[in-house]
Amino acid sequence: MAATSHASIKSRDGVSTLVDRWPLLGQRRALVIYLCAIVALDLVAVVLFASATEIRWPDVGTFAALMMCGAVCIEATRRLGMPAGVSRDLLSAWWLPVALLLPPVYALFAPIVLQVLLQVRVRAAVLHRRVFSAAAIGLAGCTASVLFHWFVHDPMVLSRGSGSPIMYAVTAALLFSLLNIALIAIAAHTADPDITWREVLWDRESVLLDIVELCLGVTVSIACGLNLALLLLALPPVVLLQRSLLHAQLQAAARTDAKTGLLNAAAWQREADTEIVRARRTGDTLALLIIDIDHFKRVNDAHGHLVGDQVLAGVAATLRSQLRDYDVVGRFGGEEFVVLLPGADVHEARQVAERLRTRIGHMAIPGDDTLIKVTISVGVALMSIHGDELIDLLAAADLALYRAKELGRDRV
């Protein structure tokens, strides 16, 4: 995260900084410019389309009805609870009908209304993320609306069930989804250039959810075109799907460390136990690594906990990128990480550990007008050589880690 030197309003030992108060200032300069450009473009679009749109009360009524349905979904989410890290919802079921049935200006306002409700009623997220999300969704919805209305002059023909309007509606919904994904992906990649485009663009579960949202949005649009009262029939299934989706995300969040996205200690231990039982049954080799960031407290003391969190996230991303899909990696607490390597012998375990040490040593995190570099120490334990139980392997790897630190750190 890049923060200018004049951002501090107190010395580091005074704890409080301008970056702590305004997290946007702690982001990479390129990311700040990109976020501001998208928000500015959204504001320009609001002004232009608002000045060119005639306000009609039937349109206002339809917009209000769809926003009320979105509010009901948000209230259902609030009652179930949404911790940090749970981000997917089905609010596109209400954004898309706004884009398809109403003039484009309403598509720009819809995400603002619902993002404010999310911020106030569900969870107060970092403000610049909420603002950017509203702008990205608004621009995507506005573009889809312009495209649809270019080909379909009377949106209510959707309710007649003819092929062409529905095809145009699906095309506009697809454009909405692709444009929104692209805007978010560019922000994610700008925030962390080490993340591959595939990681930020392609995810099977996300694609399936996008398809579900697209189908829901077009279906609700057709129902709304038939009769606005049919929203009362569309609302309960969408709320139920929303709650089911949230429940699945809550289960995943319970296994995940919020700062790094890796398995938390409890989830890692369960998966590691399963792998060890399998290795004992099949006679396969297995290795365990304990990884500790050297002098991590100095990073927090010198640059603040926000930068420290970025270092943790950067180390976690490097670990994921250098390990196999079936390796079990988690955050063990503080600045410690654990990795289980099924099928690894002594030679392979040391190779992997050295590769991780080298890659993390080359990693650089921007902060306070400087690039922060860290090193790691790694302790390695091998199944059968150091024990056949998880507790024995952890103890042996921890002892090896202690030895690595005694010998000067930055070593395996």
DSSP state of 155: G
The residues, ordered by sequence, that sit 6+ positions from 212 with a Cβ below 8 Å of its Cβ are 90, 241
Which run of H or E residues covers position 382? strand 376-382
The answer to whether the beta carbons of residues 328 and 339 sit under 8 Å apart is: yes
Q: d(Cα 211, Cα 172) in Å, to the nearest integer? A: 13
The answer to whether the beta carbons of residues 312 and 335 sit under 8 Å apart is: yes
pTM here? 0.65
Q: Give residue 239's pLDDT.
A: 86
Q: Give residue 261's pLDDT.
A: 84
CA distance from start to end of the chain: 29
Q: Does domain 23-253 fall into CATH 1.10.1760.20?
A: yes
The residues, ordered by sequence, that sit 6+ positions from 119 with a Cβ below 8 Å of its Cβ are 125, 127, 130
Q: d(Cα 344, Cα 297) in Å, to the nearest integer? A: 32
Q: Does domain 265-407 fall into CATH 3.30.70.270?
A: yes
Q: Give residue 156's pLDDT.
A: 81
The residues, ordered by sequence, that sit 6+ positions from 11 with a Cβ below 8 Å of its Cβ are none
Q: Are strands 336-342 and 370-372 parallel, antiparallel or unpaired?
A: unpaired
Give me the average pLDDT of each 10-residue run along the chain (412 residues): 36 45 67 92 96 93 94 79 60 91 96 90 80 94 95 84 88 93 88 70 75 89 89 90 76 79 89 91 93 92 85 91 90 92 93 95 80 93 91 94 94 94
The residues of the chain that CATH labels 3.30.70.270 are 265-407
Q: Give residue 11's pLDDT.
A: 41
The answer to whether the beta carbons of residues 61 and 40 sit under 8 Å apart is: no
Residue with tokens 């103890």: 395
Q: Give residue 26's pLDDT.
A: 63
Q: Give residue 207's pLDDT.
A: 80
Q: Give residue 2's pLDDT.
A: 38
Chain centroid offset of residue 138 CA = 19
The residues of the chain that CATH labels 1.10.1760.20 are 23-253
Q: d(Cα 154, Cα 168) in Å, to the nearest integer? A: 12
DSSP state of 195: S
Q: d(Cα 131, Cα 126) in Å, to the nearest integer? A: 9
pLDDT per residue as tens digits for the range 218-272: 999 999 888 889 999 999 988 888 887 777 677 776 788 888 889 998 889 999 9
